[in-house]
Amino acid sequence: MADEKKDKKASKPAAKKPAAKKAPAKKAAAKKDSKAKSKEKKAEGKKESKGKKEPAKKAAPKKAKKPAAPPVVKAKARYVRIAPRKARLIADQVRGMHIEQARALLEFSPRGAAHPIQKLINSAAANAENNHDLIGDEMRVSSITVDEGPTLRRFRPRAMGRATPINKRTSHIAVALTPVED
């Protein structure tokens, strides 16, 4: 009997091992079958869509070519030590003007912001000549913007040990020139 029990114990683990190996093999086979089925479905779907005749796409009518947009020549001056509110007064006067008129206005303007804006417009005209092969004197100021830059915060001593703030404002000025249309 003892020999029979040993034989049964020896035979049981051997029987369990192949059964344990078959279970993952069945799962792997099931996954392969499901993948194969999904591929077949996709292929059938493609065949059906190929079999159907879709209306031919009409060729889009050729649009008339638009003339090339005039080149825009830009120049920027950053951290200009003038308050943006003061610089905008001059920028509003110059916006849309021919460059020669703008130069004349800025030359004789008593405002302090006129000088940096004049330098910037001259720089943009030089950019047009050197970088874009345009004539600098045949341009107009298409846009000019004055944005606020960082503020330098200073303090001034006052009576009775007090201090009052002084804000030294800066501006970022951007100019865009375009050729005058004849």
pLDDT in tens, the chain (182 residues): 555 555 555 555 554 555 555 555 555 555 556 666 666 666 666 555 555 555 666 666 666 676 778 889 999 999 999 999 999 999 999 999 999 999 999 999 999 999 999 999 999 999 999 999 999 899 999 999 999 999 999 999 999 999 999 999 999 999 999 998 86
Residue 155 lies in a domain: yes
**Predicted local distance difference test score (pLDDT) of residue 144:** 97
26: helix, strand or coil: helix
Q: What is the rounded CA–CA span in Å between residue 49 and residue 62?
A: 30
Residue 68 lies in a domain: no
Q: What is the rounded CA–CA span in Å between residue 75 and residue 70?
A: 16
Residue 49 lies in a domain: no
Residues of the domain holding 168: 73-179
H or E stretch covering 50: helix 2-51
Residue 129 lies in a domain: yes
By the 8 A CB rule, do 140 and 134 touch? no
Residue 104 lies in a domain: yes
**Predicted local distance difference test score (pLDDT) of residue 68:** 76
H or E stretch covering 33: helix 2-51
Residue 32 lies in a domain: no
Question: Which amino acid appears at position 15 of this protein?
Answer: A
Candidates 171, 178, 117; CA nearest to 146 is 171
What's the predicted TM-score (pTM) here?
0.62
Residue 60 lies in a domain: no
Candidates 145, 169, 77; CA nearest to 115 is 77
Structural domain count of the chain: 1
Q: What is the CATH number of the domain that holds 128?
A: 3.90.470.10
Backbone phi and psi for residue 63, each to the nearest 5 degrees, phi listed first: -85, 150
Residue 168 lies in a domain: yes
**Predicted local distance difference test score (pLDDT) of residue 46:** 55
What number of CA atoms fall less than 13 Å from residue 76's CA on the CB side? 6
Radius of gyration of the chain (CA): 41
Any idea what DSSP says for residue 82? Answer: S
Q: C-alpha distances in angstroms, 103 versus 115, 122, 153? A: 10, 8, 33
